Amino acid sequence: MILTHLKDDERKANSRAAMVRVEIRDAQGYANQRRHDLRIGAQPGYVNPNPSEPNPVFIQPMTTTELKRLAKDRRAQRDTQRAMKSNAGIAVAGIIGFGVEAQKMFEALGPDGQEKALRAAVERMAADLRTSVSGLVLHLDETAKHAHFSLCGYDVDGQPLSTHMGRGVLRDLQTALHEALQAFMPDLERGRARKARAEAGAAPHELVNRSVAELHTDLPLEIEAKRQELAELKEKILKNEVRAEKARAKAEQDEDRAEKALKNAEIYERRASEAEGKVEGLEAQIIALERRLEGVEAAKGAAEAARDQALEAQKGAESRAEAAESRMKDLETGRVAAINEAASAAAQAAAAVITGGLYQNDQGKWKVGEGSPSAERLKPLWKHLRPALEWVALWWDDVRGKVTALPEPEQQAFFKEVPPDEIEEEPTP
C-alpha cells in the first residue's frame, strides 16, 4: 500500500483521516434515511444499480416503529408532563467517510476487518453518548466506500440527545471515531480543523477550495445529504397538503368548528408553501453539485488515462531494458521526462483555456494561440485531454465573472493556484 501524504504540509485537509457527520432525525427523517441505507425504493443516479456485491448490513437498522418505541420507553423514565412530540428527535443519523489515503487503509482491512473496525467505532460513539446503536450499513455501490449508522435519539436515562449535540460533542465524536479506528488502521491520523490549518499558514482560499481527490470523495456524500433533505421536504409538503385538505373538508361538514378548521388548513398550506420554496433551492443546489462532480470525474478520468498511458510506456521501456541493459539509465530518464512533459502540457493547456490562449472557435474546433502549448505537444495527449479541457472551459465560463469581481490580491491568489504551473514532484515509479 503506497501512501503519498506529506507529513509537513499541515495547511491541507488530512487525506489520512476518517470523518464522521451526524444529525438528529425525527421519525419521518429516520424512515427516509433507513430506506436510503437499505436501498429501498428508487435511488439517486450516482448509485450503481448493478454492484458487483451487495451492501453489507452489519447491524440491521431498526424499523421506525421499533426505534420510536425504544425512544418512548427511555423517555418514560423521566417525569414529563406531555407525550412525546411527533417531530421529536428519535434518532441520530450518521455517516463515516475516509480521506483518499485513509480509504486505502480501510480497503486493506478486508471484509471482516472492515466490519470489526466499523462496529468498534459506532459502539464507541454510542457509549460516549450513553445510548445504543440501532443500525450500521456499509455502502459499496457509490464512488467511495462509506458507512451509514444510526443511534437511539434518547440516552439510557431518557434524556434527548438533541439538547446537547453542540460543536464540542461533535468534536468528541470525531476523536472517538479516530481512536476506535486507529486500533485497526495504525497509520490513521486525526483530521485537521480549519483553525489549525489556518495557524499552519493556509491561505483563506486553501481553507475553502478542495483538491480533485478531496472533491471526488466529498461531493457524492454532499449530494446524498442534499437528496435526503429534499426527500424529507417533499414528504412534508405531501403531509401538509393532505392535512389541509382534510381540515377544509371538516370545515364544510361541521359549521360550529369551521373557523378553527379553516385556520388549521391555512397553517398546513403555509407550511407546504414554505417547503416548496425550499425544494426549488435544494434542487438547484443538487444540480450544481452533480455538474461539479461530473467535472471532477472528467478531470480524474483524464489524469488516470494519462497515468495508464505512462504505465504502458514504462512497461515497454522495461522490456527493452532487459534486452539492452546498458541503455536502462537513458530509457528511465526518457520515461520520466515523457511523464513530466505530459503532465506539464496538461497543466499548461488548462491554464491556456482560462487565459484564452486555447479556445474553441465558432465551429467548435479547438485553436492554439499565444500562451498555449503547441499543437505538436498536445496532439499525442489530445484524446485524453479534450474532455477535461471542455469541462475546464465550461467551468471557467461559469466562474469568470465571480473571479474578475474579486479584489486584486484574491485574483492573484486564484490564478496562482488554478492550475499549477509545473509539477513539483516526479511521478512514483
The DSSP string of 209-277 is ---HHHHHHHHHHHHHHHHHHHHHHHHHHHHHHHHHHHHHHHHHH-GGGHHHHHHHHHHHHHHHHHHHH
Cα–Cα dist 289/216, whole Å: 11
Cα separations (Å) of 72 from 28, 136, 288?
16, 22, 40
- Are both 152 and 193 inside the same structural domain? yes
Q: Is the pLDDT of residue 282 over 70?
A: yes
- Are both 303 and 380 inside the same structural domain? no
- Are both 234 and 309 inside the same structural domain? yes
Is 197 inside any structural domain? yes
Mention every residue, 6+ apart, whose C-beta is less than 8 A from residue 347.
Answer: 419, 420, 421, 422, 423
Domain range holding 358?
Answer: 339-429
- Are both 185 and 67 inside the same structural domain? yes
**Would you place residue 173 in the very low, low, confident or very high pLDDT band (cuts 50, 70, 90)?**
very high
**Would you place residue 3 in the very low, low, confident or very high pLDDT band (cuts 50, 70, 90)?**
very low
Instruction: State the pLDDT at residue 197.
Output: 46
- Are both 194 and 214 inside the same structural domain? no
- Are both 99 and 43 inside the same structural domain? yes
Count of domains for the chain: 3
140: β partners:
none
Q: Is the pLDDT of residue 182 over 90?
A: yes
Mean pLDDT of the region 117-146: 93
Q: What is the pTM of this model?
A: 0.51
Cα–Cα dist 241/355, whole Å: 52
**Per residue in 341-398, pLDDT tens?**
888 888 888 888 888 888 888 888 888 888 888 888 888 888 888 888 888 888 888 8
Q: Name which residue leads in pLDDT, 115 or 386.
A: 115
In the structure grid, which three cell numbers stand for residue 12, read together?
A: 491541507
Lowest mean pLDDT among 96-105, 204-213, 293-302: 204-213
Instruction: State the pLDDT at residue 395.
Output: 86
Instruction: State the pLDDT at residue 125.
Output: 96
User: What is the DSSP secondary-structure string of 15-79?
Assistant: TT-EEEEEEEE-HHHHHHHHHHHTT-S---TTS-SS-SSPPPEEEPPPPHHHHHHHHHHHHTTS-
Is 331 inside any structural domain? no
Nearest by Cα to 140 from 53, 266, 264, 235: 53
Q: Name which residue leads in pLDDT, 320 or 192.
A: 320
The dihedrals phi and psi of 98, each to the nearest 5 degrees, come to: -135, 145
Cα–Cα dist 54/33, whole Å: 18
Task: Go through 254-276 and write b for each residue having 16 or more CB atoms within 10 A of its CB, e for each that does not.
Answer: eeeeeeebbebbeebbebbeebe
- Are both 131 and 189 inside the same structural domain? yes
Give the residue carrying C-alpha cell 437511539: 152
In the structure grid, which three cell numbers stand for residue 331, read together?
A: 530509457
Percent of the residues in the chain that have a pLDDT greater than 70, as a whole number: 82
Instruction: State the pLDDT at residue 381.
Output: 83
- Are both 215 and 160 inside the same structural domain? no
- Are both 168 and 236 inside the same structural domain? no
Amino acid at residue number 377: R
